[in-house]
């Protein structure tokens, strides 16, 4: 099976939370709510965007507690033909 010829992207975002007390991170959706509607102020910035091949994306998915099948890839970065 050939490696995927598709292109993937990894975007890193930095979030700044300003609060009176030390901020306790729970869920990302909570962070957004705390900044928009809660007792915190803050901002976000896209700090990096990189293009990844299938092998790199499969590795990133596994390192981020996800599965390569999320993007129809095998663990070694090939297109999972059963998923197309």
What gap in Å lies between CA 56 and CA 76, rounded to an integer? 9
What gap in Å lies between CA 58 and CA 25, rounded to an integer? 27
- The reported pTM is 0.79
User: What was the pLDDT predicted at 3?
Assistant: 86
Whether 14 and 47 share a structural domain: yes
- Range of 62's domain? 52-84
Whether 43 and 31 share a structural domain: yes
What gap in Å lies between CA 57 and CA 63, rounded to an integer? 10
Quote the mean pLDDT of the chain. 93
Whether 47 and 13 share a structural domain: yes
Closest C-alpha among 79, 59, 62 to residue 5: 79
Q: Please, how many CA atoms are within 13 Å of residue 22, restricted to the half-sphere of its CB?
A: 1
User: What was the pLDDT predicted at 2?
Assistant: 66
Sequence-separated (6 or more) residues with CB below 8 Å from residue 77: 3, 4, 53, 54, 55, 56, 57, 58, 59, 68
Give 15-54 pLDDT, tens digit per residue: 999 999 999 988 999 999 999 999 999 999 999 999 999 9
Whether 74 and 44 share a structural domain: no
């Amino acid at each position: 099976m050939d490696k995927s010829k598709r292109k993937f992207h990894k975007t890193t975002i930095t979030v700044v939370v300003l609060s009176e007390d030390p901020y306790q991170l729970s869920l990302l959706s909570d962070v957004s709510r705390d900044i928009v509607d809660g007792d915190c102020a803050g901002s976000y910035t896209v700090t990096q965007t990189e293009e990844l091949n299938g092998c790199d994306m499969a590795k990133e998915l596994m390192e981020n507690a996800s599965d390569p099948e999320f993007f129809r890839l095998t663990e070694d970065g090939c297109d999972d033909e059963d998923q197309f």
